Amino acid sequence: MGKYTIGVDYGSLSGRAVLVEVESGKELATAVKEYTHGVMDVFLPDGQTKLENDWALQHPNDYLEVLQITIPQVLKESGVSAVDVIGVAIDFTACTVLPIKDDGTPLCMMDQFSNHPHSYVKLWKHHAAQDEANRLNEIAEERGEDFLKRYGGKISSEWMIPKVWQILNEAPEIYEAADQIVEATDWVTSQLTGEIRRSSCTAGYKAIWHKQDGYPSKEFFKALDPRLENVVEEKLTNEIFSIGLKAGEITEKAAELTGLNPGTAVGIANVDAHVSVPAVGITEPGKLLMIMGTSTCHVLLGEEEKIVPGMCGVVEDGVIPGYMGYEAGQSCVGDHFEWFIDNCVPASYYQEAEESNMNIHELLTEKASRLQVGESGLLALDWWNGNRSTLVDADLTGVLIGATLLTKPEEIYRALIEATAYGTRMIIEAFRNNGVPVNELYACGGIAEKNSLMMQIYSDVINMEIKISESSQTPALGSAMFGAVAAGKDRGGYDSITDAAKVMGRVKDDTYMPINDNAKVYEQLYAEYEKLYDYFGRGENNVMKTLKNIKKNMLLVNGWR
């Protein structure tokens, strides 16, 4: 009998499992479970406790339901026996964190804290810790902290320390009650193995941990807030485990939950973007992968630690052991288009889509594809959810310029697609300008798989060939590969992720090539995008932040939340 491995990918709205044949990388079954509670950004589950602006929470029980439903489903669908499953591993959106007790119980699942917002999971796009992030960056700059350079000059409000500090500032009782504050990816893995094993990937990219230097000093944390002086020892830990290692084995309790056999190997958890790199066969520098979804993450390997302004981070062994792993990102991509169809598309377009047996995205894409480059006269900035790279500023907002009374929805839709492509080009040029080569371009995710117009626009704007992942569940495949590595060669797996990638990672034969005439026009449009980028994003005109402050003040004056 063959050997198999399972990867579970936790996204923003759902979790999915894929069962993979180890010796070929063939995906035999996939199952998806939508989160019961979804993203909570208005109310807690009680329906009464209202959340403030920029909050984004989740319920940890949703994550357990994913394991309970999807793993038995892929076993049943494939006909594979749990006896022949040698490993499992998971990946997650990050930074997604929750406070827990030492026995692993999330505070939100305790009666006394069930109606307290700070007891729940803070999703990656929880931006309400921006004040803490701003203050952290100011203090780090004043102190000349070296770690700041490794994260593009700014720590994001999305990351671990600002979120922890927000809990301390706004809910000290939750901070005090929490024995640990952990990444969701590490917590779910602990539900399989019985022990917390913090991943080097999440610690390095999201919690300011460095393989050589560890966390920032106690003096730094004390400078932030005297109550944070011992935050590492009290709420985090100095014990960090490298990706590619075994986190433990399936416990009896986890076996009952998942249908897997006790003793099945479990890999150290990963981040959804980073785990996708070996799944497309990337194991060497110079090849950048775009993981495209509600947001886009850009991951790239390098041989040396270089300082790239605006990058999300550079972590030794953070993606593939033996290399520096660079990360950058755009926080508004799929969310961008979803906002548009929810708020700006007339009913007549929905009727036309229904009559044409299309969904609204397909109709707008088809109409946008008929437009010539530059025909709409529109240009947009892709900051509807802030800018992650290269400006690292969640307070930036969207711009659409050039609209007239004749502007059509499909023209705006295309301009928004182009804006995200310009943002990616900005990131690529930042890497190149700071000594990190980008010689090849890859893409994965639902957008890359389904939207050929968007991928062609990206190829034209960036003027590079784009290779597309063969798997429709790239992060889950990557996690399955790490599950095979956790099992090891002696149990039918692999001794390294590089070995696994040679067999299990793959891309499609067809690629996107830049169209020369389109690329020439996009060169002109990109030059204008750069001007807007600098004007609104680098302090020359802070109108976006002024408007946001006015809005915030008016909401407070009127007692709205």
* pLDDT tens for each residue of 202-256: 999 999 999 999 999 999 999 999 999 999 999 999 999 999 999 999 999 999 9
How far apart, in Å, are the Cα atoms of 485 and each of 482, 509, 548? Answer: 5, 27, 47
Region 135-155: mean pLDDT is 94
Query: What is the reported pLDDT for 322?
Result: 87
CA-based end-to-end distance of the chain:
59
Query: What is the reported pLDDT for 304?
Result: 93
Residue 457 has phi, psi (to 5 degrees) of: -60, -45
| Beta-sheet pairing, 246-249 with 57-58 | unpaired
Sign of the torsion formed by the C-alpha atoms of 189, 193, 198 and 199: negative
Region 184-202: mean pLDDT is 97
Q: Which of 295, 248, 280 is nearest to 90 (CA)?
A: 248
Residue 536 has phi, psi (to 5 degrees) of: -90, -20
Instruction: Tell me how far apart the alpha carbons of residues 387 and 296 are, in angstroms, rounded to a whole number.
Output: 11
Region 193-207: mean pLDDT is 96
Least confident of 27-36, 312-321, 494-503: 312-321
**How large a percentage of the chain has pLDDT more than 90?**
93
Residues in the chain: 561
* pLDDT tens for each residue of 277-305: 999 999 999 999 999 988 899 999 999 99
Query: What is the reported pLDDT for 293?
Result: 86
Mean pLDDT of the chain: 96
Region 74-92: mean pLDDT is 98
DSSP strand E in 25-84: where? Answer: 27-34, 57-58
Sign of the torsion formed by the C-alpha atoms of 209, 384, 56 and 52: positive
Sign of the torsion formed by the C-alpha atoms of 130, 330, 410 and 348: negative
Query: What is the reported pLDDT for 121?
Result: 98
* pLDDT tens for each residue of 9-21: 999 999 999 999 9
Region 312-338: mean pLDDT is 92
| Statement: residue 88 has pLDDT above 60 | yes
| Beta-sheet pairing, 296-302 with 324-330 | antiparallel
Query: What is the reported pLDDT for 560?
Result: 55
Q: What share of the chain is helix, strand, coil (3-state, %, to 5)?
A: 45, 20, 35
Query: What is the reported pLDDT for 321?
Result: 86
Query: What is the reported pLDDT for 558?
Result: 78
Query: What is the reported pLDDT for 552?
Result: 87
Q: Which residue's structure tokens are 């993450």? A: 297
**How large a percentage of the chain has pLDDT more than 70?**
99
* pLDDT tens for each residue of 99-132: 999 999 999 999 999 999 999 999 999 999 999 9
Region 163-182: mean pLDDT is 98
| Statement: residue 561 has pLDDT above 70 | no
Half-sphere exposure of 180 (CA within 13 A, CB side): 20
| Statement: residue 1 has pLDDT above 90 | no
